[in-house]
Amino acid sequence: MNKITNNKAWFLVLPVFFIVAISAIIPLMTVVNYSVQDIFDPQTRFFVGTEWFEQVLGDSRLHDALIRQIIYTLSVLFIEIPLGIAVALTLPRKGWGVSASMVLLALPLLIPWNVVGTIWQIFGRADIGLGGYVINLLGIDYNYSQNPMDAWVTVLVMDVWHWTSLIVLLCYAGLRSIPDAYYQAAKIDGASRWAVFRFIQLPKMQSVLVIGVLLRFMDSFMIYTEPFVLTGGGPGNATTFLSQFLTRMAVGQFDLGPAAAFSLVYFLIILLVCWVFYTVVMNAGKREEQ
């Protein structure tokens, strides 16, 4: 076969090159550039090698933020996934209830992050917020702006409120795709409700659940807006997660070198976890194709 060459084709590829360069490669290389230099002003800078990386990796505040972040993300997954499955199982399968519940569930997903933060910031206040007022009325001393635990829980509840719907919708779609004949077959066998869930519904939801976990992991690992709006990462450092920490370092203190080094580490962590997930998803997909 003769290969057809036409150099005009390069012009068609150029826009993509241009966009990717502007949006990804140049910023990333700038960060790499910052991470190995100490910059005082545009004329004065020193090459420092891996010094920033060493400093950042040894920073105990970063370790704290990372641990906080991991606990937070795991909590998000452990609450939202089972809760999402449970809600999806109880949703109606036909009738007007389907559209009604779909609309109700989709509502939180439509609200922008910072608005969610504001809603809960007001809702949780003991003086003017309904939620905070009621909780205090119940005799629980709740104040997210002073008690670290309260702030942490509030951010978690916020995320659960905002994103459980996503898991519900994904699971519901998975459940709906199970042919009725499976349930009939189980009924004929005399299988229990638990057996139907364990051996029919759960395996059939597997692929959507992997996607759900992936999305929720990435998103919660990069959480920024909610704690920023609620308490700005406080009280103390209770709700300072990785991106909050990074922003404070880069924009607050203008420590561009360490911030750049940390950005790269952060990037690599997410890349690594996503790669692991991706491999799992692809393997699961392959198993199904066979």
For another protein, the closer CB: 158 or 213: 213
For another protein, the closer CB: 139 or 179: 179
For another protein, the closer CB: 127 or 288: 288
Q: How far is the CB of 117 from another protein (least distance, A)?
A: 40
Whose tokens are 């692929």? That residue is: 207
For another protein, the closer CB: 61 or 93: 93
CA distance 219 to 215: 6
For another protein, the closer CB: 146 or 192: 192
Q: What is the largest CA-CA distance in the chain?
A: 82
Q: How far is the CB of 11 from another protein (least distance, A)?
A: 45
For another protein, the closer CB: 126 or 191: 191
Q: How far is the CB of 179 from another protein (least distance, A)?
A: 5
CA distance 175 to 147: 41
Q: CA–CA distance from 227 to each of 16, 129, 158, 162, 177 (Å)? A: 36, 17, 9, 14, 37
Q: How far is the CB of 88 from another protein (least distance, A)?
A: 18
Instruction: Return the structure tokens found at 72.
Output: 């937070």
C-beta separation of 253 from 59 below 8 A: no
Q: How far is the CB of 199 from another protein (least distance, A)?
A: 4
Q: How far is the CB of 127 from another protein (least distance, A)?
A: 52
For another protein, the closer CB: 182 or 277: 182
The answer for residues whose C-beta is within 8 angstroms of residue 123's C-beta and 6 or more apart is 129, 130, 131, 132
Residues at the contact surface with another protein, assessed by CB under 8 A:
179, 181-182, 184-185, 187-191, 195, 199-200, 202-204, 287-288, 290
CA distance 108 to 102: 11
As a whole number of Å, the end-to-end CA separation of the chain is 33
Handedness of CA 209, 213, 216, 219 (dihedral sign): negative
Q: What DSSP assignment string belongs to 201-216?
A: IHHHHHHHHHHHHHHH
Q: How far is the CB of 111 from another protein (least distance, A)?
A: 36
Q: CA–CA distance from 84 to each of 149, 161, 167 (Å)? A: 24, 11, 5
